Amino acid sequence: KPTLYIVPTPIGNLDDITQRALTVLAQVDLIACEDTRHSGKLLSHFGIKTKTLSVHDHNERQRAQWLISKLDSGESIALVSDAGTPLISDPGYHLVSQVRAAGHPVVPLPGPCAATTALCAAGLPSDRFSFEGFLPAKSKGRQDKLQALLQEPRTMIFYESPRRVLDTLADVVTVMGPDRDVVLAREITKTFETIEGRPAAQLLAWLQEDDNRTRGEMVLMIAGFRMQDDTLPAETVKALKLLAQELP
Ligand code: SAM
């Protein structure tokens, strides 16, 4: 049955490709790539000769219709992004929704994803989390977003760029306070993998000590909001205590 497969690829360590990913990539009729040159290197490394075609943010909606016509004519397709899981801060959402609407099966393969991989080693609560993708590039927008997340109780996961991480952490200190626990996971699965967690202000100071600490690809995780007496104005605490006394 003609199918669209969603195929994750390694985020730095080629050994992380799965056996099933290799089988699917070799067997489909066409691989839709975020960047054909980039994925071409991966495919040739694994000796896969399947035809490729580009599907990125700017042509995804138009390409979707053409890819559906391929599925209609009996061809199967795999979607890959430059690294990690397609659709997770990567193209694919429009394609998947249109392919499903057209009645073709979409089969997701499990595999590498920077967000969940980072979370698993962060030492922050992982029972509930909120994936937030990239924060806005400008400080105003970033602070507004952090403000909206101020009382989010779940662990928050962000993708971050090395150019902005210091500014972002300064904004975290400003909006969420210097003591909020933050973990930065850098270069996961690669040679210089580092995972460092500290209260926001301390992590910022630690990163400022050495340029190498802000190089490469990174995932920023912020501990969820926890209600504490000293986070609330004294009047509110008093009112809450009075209310609590009246409860059965
Ligand atoms: N779809 C990908 C996934 O499943 O993780 C993410 C794509 S997004 C365009 C790229 C961002 O993911 C990078 O800017 C970085 O924040 C994060 N990232 C990707 N690979 C990483 C790695 N090896 N270590 C840390 N972060 C990584």
Per-residue pLDDT of the chain (248 residues; tens, 9 = 90+): 999 999 999 999 999 999 999 999 999 999 999 999 999 999 999 999 999 999 998 999 999 999 999 999 999 999 999 999 999 999 999 999 999 999 999 999 999 999 999 999 999 999 999 999 999 999 999 999 999 999 999 999 999 999 999 999 999 999 999 999 999 999 999 999 999 999 999 999 999 999 999 999 999 999 999 987 566 777 887 888 888 888 87
Q: Tell me the CA–centroid distance for residue 93 and ligand 1, in Å.
A: 17
168 C-beta closer than 6 A to ligand 1: no
Q: Which residue has the tokens 């071409």?
A: 40
Nearest-atom index, ligand 1, CA of 190 = 23
| pTM, to two decimals | 0.92
Q: Tell me the CA–centroid distance for residue 187 and ligand 1, in Å.
A: 9
Indicate the Cα dihedral angle 147, 179, 233, 228, nearest 10°: 110
- Cα 20 to Cα 63, 76, 104, 107, distances in angstroms: 26, 15, 20, 12
- Pocket residue to mutate for ligand 1, from 218, 220, 221, most atoms within 8 A of Cβ: 218
85 C-beta closer than 6 A to ligand 1: yes
